[in-house]
Chains A and B, each alone.
Chain A
Amino acid sequence: MKVEQISIFIENKSGRLAEVTQALGESNVNIRALSLADTSDFGILRLIVDKTDLAKDALKERGFTVNKTVVVAVEVPDHPAGLASILTILDTGTVNVEYMYAFVERCGGNAVIIFRFDDPEAAIDILTRNNINVLEGERVYSM
Chain B
Amino acid sequence: MKPSATTVIWDRDNECMPREQLEILQLQRLQHTLELVNSHVPCYKNKFSALQISPSDVRTLDDLAKLPFTTKEDLRLNYPYGMFAVPMRDVVRIHSSSGTTGKPTVVGYTRNDLNAWTQLAARFMTAAGVTADDIVHIAFGYGLFTGAFGLHYGAEEIGASVIPISSGNTDKQIMIMQDYLSSALVCTPSYALTLADRMEKQGIDPQRLSLKVGLFGGEPWSEEMRREIEKRLGVIATDNYGLSEVMGPGVAGECQHQCGMHISEDHFIAEIIDPETGQVLPRGSVGELVLTSITKEAFPIIRYRTRDITRLDYDACACGRTHVRMMKTMGRSDDMLIIKGVNVFPTQIEEVLFQVEGCEPHYQLVVERAGTMDTLEVQVEVNERIFFDEMKKQRAFVDKLEKKLLSTLGVGARVKLVEPSSITRHEGKAKRVIDKRQA
Binding site for B on A (CB under 8 A): 5, 7, 9-11, 16, 37, 39, 41-42, 44, 46, 63-67, 69, 98-99, 116
For B418, the chain A residues whose CB sits under 8 A away are 11, 42
A39 touches B389 (CB 8 A): no
Stretch at the interface among B161-169, B215-223, B391-399: B391-399
- Does B382 contact A69, Cβ atoms closer than 8 Å? no
Taking residues whose C-beta sits less than 8 angstroms from the other chain, chain B's interface range is: 10 to 19
Name, among B383, B389, B391, B394, the residue most crowded by chain A CB atoms within 10 Å (CB to CB). Answer: B389
Asked whether B419 lies within 8 Å of A65 as measured between CB atoms, the reply is: yes
A11 to B416, CA, bound (A): 10
- Cβ distance A117 to chain B, nearest Cβ, rounded Å: 11
The residue on A at minimum CB distance from B418 is A11
**Given A42-B418, A44-B390, A44-B394, 18 extra CB contacts under 8 A:** A7-B387, A7-B388, A9-B419, A10-B419, A11-B419, A39-B391, A41-B417, A44-B388, A44-B389, A63-B419, A64-B420, A65-B387, A65-B419, A65-B420, A67-B384, A98-B390, A99-B390, A116-B389
Chain B residues 390-435 with CB under 8 Å of chain A are: 390-392, 394-395, 416-422
Top 8 closest pairs, chain A to chain B, by CB: A7-B389, A37-B391, A11-B419, A9-B382, A69-B389, A65-B382, A65-B387, A9-B387
Least CB distance from A115 to B in Å reads 13
Binary contact readout B100-144 vs A (1 if CB under 8 angstroms, 0 otherwise):
000000000000000000000000000000000000000000000
Residue of B nearest to A5 (CB): B389
Q: List 11 A-B contacts (CB under 8 A).
A: A7-B387, A9-B417, A11-B418, A11-B422, A44-B390, A63-B420, A63-B421, A65-B387, A65-B420, A67-B384, A98-B390
Q: Nearest-CB distance from B357 to chain A (Å)?
A: 16
Known A44-B389, A44-B394, A116-B390; contact A66-B421, beta-carbon cutoff 8 A:
no
Chain A residues near B383 (CB-CB < 8 A): 65
Contacts of A98 in B (CB 8 A): 390, 392
Cβ contacts under 8 Å, A69 to chain B: 389
CB B305 to nearest CB in A, in angstroms, measures: 40
Which of B383, B394, B416, B419 counts the most chain A CB atoms within 10 A?
A: B419
A65 to B385, CA, bound (A): 10
In the assembled complex, the CB of A98 is this many whole angstroms from the nearest CB of chain B, namely 5
Beta-carbon nearest neighbor of A38 in chain B: B391
Contact A64 B419 (CB under 8 A): yes
Q: How far is the CB of A35 from chain B (nearest CB, A)?
A: 10
Tell me the chain B residues, 67-84 only, with Cβ under 8 Å from chain A: none
Assembled-state Cα–Cα distance A55/B152 (Å): 46
Chain B residues with CB under 8 A of A99 = 390-391
**Interface core residue of A5, A9, A16, A99 (most chain B CB under 10 Å):** A9
Bound-complex Cα distance A10 to B416 (A)? 12
Q: Which residue of A lies closest to B415 (CB)?
A: A41
